[in-house]
Amino acid sequence: MAHSYRRILVKLSGEALMAPDGYWLHPQTLAQLAEDLARATRGGFEIALVIGGGNIIRGARMSAAGWIDRPTADSMGMLATVMNSLALETALNAAGVSARTMSAVSMPTICETYARQPALHHLDKGQVLVLAGGTGNPFFTTDTSAVLRAAELHCHAVLKATQVDGVYSADPKTNPEAIRYDHITHDEAIARDLKIMDTAAFALARESRLPVIVGCVHAPSSITAILEGTAPSTLVAP
Ligand code: UDP
């Protein structure tokens, strides 16, 4: 089923940029993602992107070791998202798309500081927005940033990229009986304890009545295919 949403916030985890040998960044993967996003914009979709930093640092895990406090580790995590965002902005520009990084953490010599009105203006002009620096606050994740920015930038849906092509009744890697849902509500996802995003992010999506499309973007052109309904995905919507 083709989705009727036009302005989409795409949430990629930092791990989506990693090389097969574990190096934090893989230029070929970046180029493939950028090409896919370029195709989506040519197809009329307006795209805002949030990239995590988990390929470099996750604050909660780092601070659990005990030698660094959580807010400092989270600051490092937010900086990691800026590095990923600049890499993706570069790949998007190379793919012929005008892309603009805006960071919630102010660093004006490196990129624009996030502000809602200029961000809306960039989107209205057809630029791809790369939203870096998370929410700018510790103790949050980029899933929460994705939902927050989607809600404030009038995005019609969040496309949450995962390792599997949707939301399943059980882990499809270990349970052959697992079935993929085509459509579930936010309330059903919570009642069945389906982990789609972290709790804070998902609560905000539910409160904002924001649709979340869950799919896998590993294959070439999969972002466009999910949005056009030719690749499998799960729609979480009221
Ligand atoms: N982070 C943060 N505040 C935010 C977003 C992110 O402190 O609003 C930090 C946090 O340490 C997080 C890290 O940045 O672990 C990387 O983001 P995330 O874990 O969401 O990345 P992903 O798992 O999507 O790659």
Mean pLDDT by 10 residues, the chain (238 residues): 86 97 97 97 97 98 97 98 98 98 98 98 97 98 98 98 93 92 95 91 97 96 95 96
Residue of the nearest CA to atom 14 in ligand 1?
77
Residues 6+ apart with CB under 8 A from 220: 32, 35, 36
Ligand 1, pocket-test mutation among 142, 143, 159, 214, most atoms within 8 A of CB: 142
Q: State the closest ligand 1 atom to the C-alpha of 139, by its place in the atom list counted from 1.
A: 7
d(Cα 19, Cα 68) in Å, to the nearest integer? 28
d(Cα 44, Cα 21) in Å, to the nearest integer? 35
- pLDDT value, residue 163: 87
In order of 20, 58, 213, 214, the CA distances from 179 in angstroms are 29, 31, 16, 14
217 touches 226 (CB < 8 A): yes
- Give residue limits of the domains in the chain: 7-236
d(Cα 46, Cα 227) in Å, to the nearest integer? 11
- pLDDT value, residue 60: 97
Alpha helices (runs of H) in 43-185, residue ranges in sequence order: 59-64, 70-94, 116-124, 142-152
pTM: 0.97
Residues in the chain, how many?
Answer: 238
- pLDDT value, residue 2: 67
Name the β-bridge partners of 228: none
Expressed in angstroms and rounded, the spacing between residue 53 Cα and the centre of ligand 1 is 6
- pLDDT value, residue 140: 97
- pLDDT value, residue 223: 96
d(Cα 164, Cα 167) in Å, to the nearest integer? 8
Expressed in angstroms and rounded, the spacing between residue 56 Cα and the centre of ligand 1 is 10
Q: In this structure, how many other beta carbons lie within 10 angstroms of the beta carbon of residue 145?
A: 27
The three-class DSSP label of residue 36 is helix
- pLDDT value, residue 1: 57
Expressed in angstroms and rounded, the spacing between residue 132 Cα and the centre of ligand 1 is 10
Expressed in angstroms and rounded, the spacing between residue 176 Cα and the centre of ligand 1 is 32
Q: Is the CB of 133 under 6 A from ligand 1?
A: no
Expressed in angstroms and rounded, the spacing between residue 177 Cα and the centre of ligand 1 is 33
For 20, the token pair is 């097969």
102 touches 111 (CB < 8 A): yes
- pLDDT value, residue 4: 83
Q: What is the CA radius of gyration of the chain?
A: 17
235 touches 183 (CB < 8 A): yes
Q: Is the CB of 224 under 6 A from ligand 1?
A: no
In CATH terms, 7-236 corresponds, of 3.40.1160.10, 3.30.360.10, 3.40.50.10490, 3.30.310.40, to 3.40.1160.10
